[in-house]
């Protein structure tokens, strides 16, 4: 039995980590590991200041556990440099990093190589998402959509044509892979409207 720390993360307040936590607990029980710490946060994986992640790394330096279990590499981080640095630090401390979704760990050279590949892919995926979002916003602007907070005294246009145009922009942005929250903020519409 090894002492295990679980790290879970989502990017926004509207998401939750329940599925990650459940899967990691089930894996730990099957593998016979003792969960001694859980670190859960809602923050972007590209952020350099993740309080729970930092607390986990400090605990690792105090040798409070032998394994760190994460649901997937993109939950551990989305920056190749940041992920590689953390992996090297854990390795130097003799702590194994385990990814449940991919079923790999850093206890072997092949596992380490595969994790570096996954970190590169996670960063690449994040860059693609940003590009799709930029294209969607540019498309919406081209169609005359206003962004940001309306100016003082501005009345929302009840005109049917304006609503049709906004709906088209929502569809275009969804098609480009932009998330519901981002569309809601960009077009100043409710999330329920985007979902509908």
Active-site residue set:
11
Q: In the structure encoding, which two tokens stand for residue 87, read together?
A: 């992996």
Q: In the structure encoding, which two tokens stand for residue 68, read together?
A: 């760190």
Q: DSSP characters for 102-144? A: TTEETTSHHHHHHHHHHHHHHHHHHHHHHHHHHHHHHHHHHTT
């Amino acid at each position: 039995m090894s002492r295990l720390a679980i790290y879970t993360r989502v990017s926004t307040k509207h998401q939750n980590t329940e599925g990650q936590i459940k899967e990691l607990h089930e894996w730990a029980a099957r593998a016979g590991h003792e969960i001694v710490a859980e670190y859960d946060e809602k923050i972007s994986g590209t952020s350099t200041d993740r309080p729970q992640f930092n607390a986990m790394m400090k605990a690792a330096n105090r040798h409070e556990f032998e394994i760190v279990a994460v649901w997937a590499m993109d939950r551990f981080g989305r920056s190749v440099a940041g992920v590689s640095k953390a992996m090297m630090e854990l390795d130097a401390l003799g702590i194994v990093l385990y990814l449940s979704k991919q079923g790999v760990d850093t206890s072997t050279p092949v596992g380490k190589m595969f994790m570096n590949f996954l970190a590169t892919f996670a960063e690449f995926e994040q860059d693609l998402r940003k590009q799709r979002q930029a294209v969607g916003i540019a498309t919406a602007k081209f169609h005359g959509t206003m962004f940001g907070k309306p100016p003082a005294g501005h009345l929302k246009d009840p005109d049917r044509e304006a609503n049709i145009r906004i709906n088209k922009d929502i569809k275009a942005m969804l098609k480009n892979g932009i998330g519901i929250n981002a569309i809601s903020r960009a077009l100043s519409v409710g999330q329920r409207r985007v979902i509908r």
